[in-house]
Every structure is written in structure tokens, then in C-alpha cells.
Chains A and B, each alone.
Chain A
Amino acid sequence: QGADIALGTQTFDRTQPVEVTADELSIDQASGQAVFDGNVLVVQGEVRLSAGKVTVEYSTEGTAPNGVSRLIASDGVTFVTPAEAIEAREATYSVADGTVRLSGDVILTQGQNAIAGETLTLDLNAGSGRMEGRVRTVFTPGGN
């Protein structure tokens, strides 16, 4: 019943495969970039990211297990995990260091609580998050 804003990220497993669906895909081998355009949906385990356009950058050195180093989503992004949902204008998910950076009227809702601000940076490994820029939140204090 508490106002628990902690992120339910422990269940997030970075080794899960990333599955991307979109209306249109264009790939540029030279720059190692793939651009998905139109109702893009990226799913990894229980985490789902939908956006108007997603640019996937593959790491050319091949260090990442499946070669994806960064996902840049734009034109309205929704990032959903089992415990909360986050909306923003753009988001950058760098798989390597497990951080997601969302910006532009970010709204994080979790159960009855919601935090709004300009930018939100999530560290998926440490399970911590920082919301900055005119941050407003609503939470239900416990009565005693």
C-alpha cells in the first residue's frame, strides 16, 4: 500500500533477445544503422518499448552479444515494465551500460503514484532513476 516508487527492475534480464517490429525497415550497412519507421515495437523479455521511429545502432566491434549497442526512439515513446510505464518524446536505450535516458515531458506512473519532469535517466542494473527539470509527483502518504 506504500508509495513505492522504486523501479521493479530486478526482474529485468539484459540477456533476453530484443525483438523489433515496425511498418518499414531500412538498413545502412556502411554506418551500421537500421531505421525502423512507423508504430515501432521493441520487446525484450517483459520490457516493451513503442515509438514512432527507432534507430538501432549496431556495435561494429561485435562486443555486444547480439551486436546492438544503442536504440534511439523518437516521435513519442512509451516504455513499459511490469511495474510502471514511462512516456516521453524521445528515449535512448544503451544496451552496453544498461541505461535508458528519456526526455521531453517525461511522465512515470507506477500504481497510484506518478512523477513528471523534463528528463529521466534510469540505471537498469542498479535499479535507480533520476528525474530532473520541474519535477512534480503525487504520492499517497500512509496514515498512522
Chain B
Amino acid sequence: QDLASLVADRIDVDPAGRVTASGNVQVFFEGVRLSAGEVSYDRTGDTLTISGPIRVTDPGGTIFLASEAQLDRDLRNGVLISARMVLDQQLQIAANEIARVGDRYTRLDRVVASSCEVCFNRPVPLWEIRAARVTHDQIERQLYFENAQFRVAGVPIIYLPRLRLPDPSLDRATGVLIPEFKTSSELAAGIKVPYFVVLGPHADVTVTPYLSSATTTLEFGYRQETSRGDIRALGAFTDDDIDGTRSYLFADVRHRLPKGFLLEAQVEFVSDPGYLFTYDYSDQDRLTNEIRLSRVREKDIFGASLTEYRTLRDSEIAIRDTLPDQYLELAYSREVPALSFGGRTVINVNSASLRRPSSVDGDGRDVGRVGAGIDWSKDWIVGPGLVTRAELGLRADAYTIGQDSTYPTTATRVVPRAAAELRWPLSRGMAGGVTEVLEPIVRIDVSETGGTSVPLEDSRVIEFDEGNLFSFSRYPGVDGVEDGVRVAAGATWRRRDANGWRVDLAIGRVASLDGDLGYGNALGLSGDRSEWLVAGHLGVGDELTLASRALLSDTSEVTLTESRIDWDTDRFMLGSSYVFAPPEPAEGRDARLSEWTFEGAYDLTDRWTASADWRYDFTGDRTARAGLGIEYTNECARLALSISRRYASSTSVDPTTEFGFRVSLLGVGGSDAERVARQSCGG
């Protein structure tokens, strides 16, 4: 039997053996802590009579405040008069009488429950639930209200004979989540009422009926953790006035196999092209169904995947048959220490097969390739810190080309290559902890393409930036190879100071010494020399990152520029990007691209937050998307108001405006949102 300890200013013992402790009385027993003005206790009876401001904290952290109480000696059972119960420092329940029954149940009568701060100058909380009786089940962590009345700012809104709410310390419990009111120009005014169902400790599903005058939709989100991976699925079934029955499913499965292999499967299905956009389920305009087996280790990487593509783009639906829809790829790359000769040797083997549904000659071209490559490289320091690097490589590929008479049915290609790169990194330290690194770089690549030319299936989109300025090829895939003698020269400069400011600059150019670079009129790489690549970056601590990149012609006219800023502080968040790119018919872009996106949120006060997002297309001189949001959060509620307009219009989608209003009660059920600290009543 455990001992209870008591501390007080005075203890009186009267002739009948009645002990009365008074003055700052504290009693500790098996994790229960009681503090009160006076505790008296008689020898024969089992109960403690307690008066004065009483505060009982039970091991679970629940706090009871009362003016008087009658508890048994182990402070477990008994009645508290005009008491308040505080759950998890969030939800307060005031009651005329609280009866503690054993370790599990607490019965409260004539109750006012709210997680809002109640002060003299603001006696009416933002929301409260009044009830004749509430029973708190400490094991199930549920609150059962009887004859409950939900009031907002003192005005009764709903009357519920029975109401069950999870107590704040409970994270996962089956039940109705907070509804969202939503009106959209396409789907009229509607309401979403999500219902969360716990399916055992490792799985749950959220089922959300979305009802409006224009649509009856059932959305679902399923999640499951397995011992070796996880399953996620999102989907919806709809019957609406726009297109009748519609549905979509996005599911992906990850499963870890023995020996480090990972199996991934992704399913993406949509009943009609406009569905995702109209219901704002996703911006995606192409679907990918894929099954992939991969393994990544220290010295080797393996990947095998079968992918099926499906387009939702209006411009492509008509020519769908001429787009590759199935792609099988196998790739393995491994370092071979035995052949390293003091450097590093990597061999890689890969094969792919691409299929187009159409069987029209030319349009329906199907391609299969299998090939292998070996690359050797060695770096060493020469003289005063000069880093020299030598590379040798050999690549051989065999192609089978079907349904395209402009190409032979089979083609082989062998490409030997060699490269030398010279880097001379220099640094200097300056006053105030400033350090600078300057690194001039020059590289020469030589390669000879033997064999017939092959169709570029995986190497059509050419991008040029600091990531491939000093590499042996700018082609993204295997089909494209550079030929001849190319020289790339440039330099990078980094300045870093003591208080987290970092500035980077990179400049460079690549040129071919024997004719054309081979990229046709690809952006920035047309003709025999590339445009000047200039890239800059500014980083301030972890908060601000500004990165920008441009391609300048010899007449220093900007042909492509892209910038991005990401600025996060605890007071505001800003993300913005601007891209300007000229028309690129080879890549299917016939109009100039000049687009600015902006996304920001700002805490007006610690309770009000305004947010906005905007996308403006300078070429078409139109807004592509605009949205505004305002959010009020205090210690017990969050109200979010949002309006957004999306301007895409095509045969399958029309511009839509959406207005959303969402109220969530905080302090009821484990709401993950971080709540504003409780404001002191004086404030």
C-alpha cells in the first residue's frame, strides 16, 4: 500500500482523532496531486473533506478545479462541487458537480465545455457546448454529451440530444471531421463532410461526401502502413450535371523486398480529361501508370520499370496514337574497382523499348534499344593546386526501329569518347570572416559517332544550365550523343560571410571546334557555340534563397531567363518564380513563354493570416490563376476563407471560380494545427 504525503502550514488533531491540515495544503498520492486551502480527515470514515480553492491533477494530466470536494482517501473517487475539469491544457469543462468514479469515468453535471479563454472582460467564449451531463471515459478518451447545445458567441446554434467528441489527447478516432462549405462557378454551392474511419492501428480511410446542387460526389483517401512499405490511394466517384458519372483514382504502393530491392507501383486513372481540373483534384495533365523495381547501393544502382502514359491534354488527345504510350526500361550501373587503374571505372548496361499505338508508317514508330557503356575517370592534383581530370568512355547501342521507313529497321552505333578537365580552385579569406572561392574551369571533349543515326526518342528536350555546362553531353537521354571536339570554359565564384550570407556566380560557354554542336536550334545551343550561360544565387541563412539563370547571346540579348525566390520567416512565406523562354518548335512550344507565379502568406497579427497566390501570363496578357485567403486562428477555433479563380479554358474545362469557407474547433480531438498560445485575460 503506497504512502500518501501531505505538506501544510498547520495540522490540528482533535480529541476524536480528526486530523485537519490547513494553509497551502499539498497531498501527493500515486501520481495524483491535490492542493487545497484545507483538508480534513477523520479516523473512522474513509473520506477527505476538502475546501478552499482546490486543484487536483491526475496522472493523465487532467486538472480538476473546485471550491469544495469530498474525495476518498486515495483521491480516486468522490465529488467536486462547482468545479472545472481541464483536459490536456486545452478543453475546459465547468460543471456544478464532478463525480469521479473509479479510475475510468468522470461524470459532470450541468456543464459548459469550451477550449476558448473566458475572462472577466470577455465572459462569453467564441464557442461553447452546454450540456445537462457529460461522461468522460479516460480509457477510450471520449466525451459523451447528453442534451448538448452548441453555442457560438453565446447564440445557440444546434441542439443535439447525443454528442460524442474525442478528448484533446486522442489523435486517431473514428468520427466526423470538420465540414467545409464550398461554392464554385461550375459546381454551385456545396458542402463537404469528411468522415474519418480508423481501420486498425496501421490503416485508415477518410470518406468525404461532397453534395451540391450540381454534383453528388464521394471522395475517399485511404492510407495503410505495411511492415515493409505503405499504400496510399485517393479517388472519387461523381454523378454531376456536367458529364454524368465520372471518377478518378490515384494509388501508389511501396514495398521493400529482401536484399535492398524496392518495388513501387503507381496507378492513375481518370474517367474524362476535365474531371481533375473542374473538381481541383490535381493540376496533372498527363497520367502515368508504372510498376518499378529498383535498388540503390553504395557502388551500384539498378532500375527496371514498365510505364504506361496517357495524355489529358486537349492538343494531344487527337494525336494520342502518335505519342509513345508504353515504355519498358532496364538500367544497371556499377563501379568496377578491378579496372580502375588508379581512377574509377563504371560500367552500365541499359535497354528500353518504346511503343506507339498507331501503325501508320512514321507516326507509329516503335523503337527498341539495348546497349552498354564503360567510363573511366581519374583526378589528380598537379603543381600549385591544379585539379586535372581525364575521362575515357566507350558506348555501344543496337536499335530496332519498326513502322518508320525513314529509318533502317536495325541500327548500331559505337561512340568512343575522351575528355580532359582542368580546374584551378583559388580562395582568399578577408576581414570579418568573409571567404571567397574562385574556380576557373576549362574542359575539352572529343567523341566520334560511328554507325547510323537513330531517332531521338528520349533526348528531345534540351536544357542548358550549370548542371551540364561541364559535362560530356547536354542530351538528357541515351539516344542523343554529342560529336566532334567541344571546348567548355567558364568560372564559378562563391562569397560567404560570417553571418550566413552566401553569394554564388557562374558563367560559361561551350563551343564546337569542328562545325555544329549538333543541337539544331535548341535553345541556347544552336550553331557551333552556345550562348553565354550566367547564373547567380543568393542565400541568407536558411530563410532566403534567390536563384536566377540567363542565356545571353553575343549581342548580350537575353534569350532565356528563369528566376525563383523562396523566402520563409516565421512571420511570412513568399515563393515566386519568373520564366521567359522564346518559342521552341522542336520542343512543341510555338509561342513565347513569359510567366510569373507568386505565392505568399503573411501573419497580420498572431491570429490573422492573409495569403495570396497569383499566376500571370505576359504572352497571353492574362491571369492564369488567382487566389486570396484570410484565416483567423485563436486558442480554440480556426476560420479559413478562400477565393480562387482558374482561367484555363478548353473543350474539356472552363474557367472556374471557387469560394471556400472552413471552420474547425481546436482543442477537441488531437488537432495537429499549432494553436495560438492562450492569451492572458489582461490582454
Contacts and interface: CB of A to CB of B under 8 A. Distances in A.
B285 interface: no
Contact of A135 (B9, B44, B46, B74): B9
Nearest to B28: A138
Nearest to A120: B11
Chain B interface size, under 10 / 10 to 19 / 20 to 34 / 35 or more? 20 to 34
A112 B1 CA distance: 12
A144 B74 contact: yes
Contacts of B72: 141, 144
A5 B16 CA distance: 10
Contacts of B5: 136-138
Interface string B6-30: 1111111111110101000000010
Given A4-B43, A6-B17, A127-B15, A139 B10 contact: no
A5 B21 CA distance: 12
A130 to B, nearest CB: 5
Contacts of B17: 4-6
B73 interface: yes
B677 interface: no
A142 B76 CA distance: 12
B6 A137 contact: yes
Contacts of B12: 128-131
Query: Which of A6, A128, A132, A141 has the most B CB atoms < 10 Å from its CB?
Result: A141
Contacts of A128: 12-15
Given A136-B6, A139-B3, A6 B74 contact: no
B44 to A, nearest CB: 8
A117 B23 CA distance: 13
Contacts of B15: 6, 126-128
B58 to A, nearest CB: 15
A127 B14 CA distance: 7
A6 B11 contact: no
A26 B670 CA distance: 78
Given A4-B17, A135-B21, A136-B5, A141 B10 contact: no
B13 A138 contact: no
A29 interface: no
A62 interface: no
A141 B11 contact: no
A31 interface: no
A112 B4 CA distance: 11
A5 B1 contact: no
Interface in A1-58: 2-7
Contact of B16 (A6, A117, A134, A137): A6
A105 B493 CA distance: 76
Contacts of B9: 132-135
B10 A135 contact: yes
Contacts of A132: 9-11
B37 to A, nearest CB: 15
Nearest to B7: A136
A139 B12 CA distance: 15
Interface string B24-43: 00000100000000000101
A139 B42 CA distance: 13
Interface in B44-101: 44, 46, 72-75, 77
A141 B13 contact: no
Contact of A137 (B1, B11, B74): B11
A136 B27 CA distance: 10
B436 to A, nearest CB: 67
B43 A2 contact: yes
B74 A143 contact: yes
A133 B10 CA distance: 6
Contacts of A130: 10-13
Contacts of A143: 1, 74
A116 to B, nearest CB: 10
A114 to B, nearest CB: 10
A80 interface: no
Contact of B46 (A127, A137, A144): A144
Contacts of A137: 5-8, 11, 21
A115 interface: yes
Nearest to A10: B15
A9 B2 CA distance: 28
Nearest to B44: A2
A134 to B, nearest CB: 7
A131 B9 CA distance: 9
- Nearest 8 A/B pairs, CB to CB: A6-B17, A141-B73, A127-B15, A131-B11, A129-B13, A137-B6, A135-B11, A132-B10
Interface of A: 2-7, 112, 115, 117, 126-144
Given A2-B43, A131-B11, A139-B6, 7 more contacts: A2-B44, A3-B43, A6-B43, A130-B13, A134-B7, A141-B72, A141-B74
12 contacts: A3-B43, A6-B16, A126-B15, A128-B13, A129-B12, A132-B9, A135-B7, A135-B21, A138-B4, A140-B1, A141-B75, A144-B72
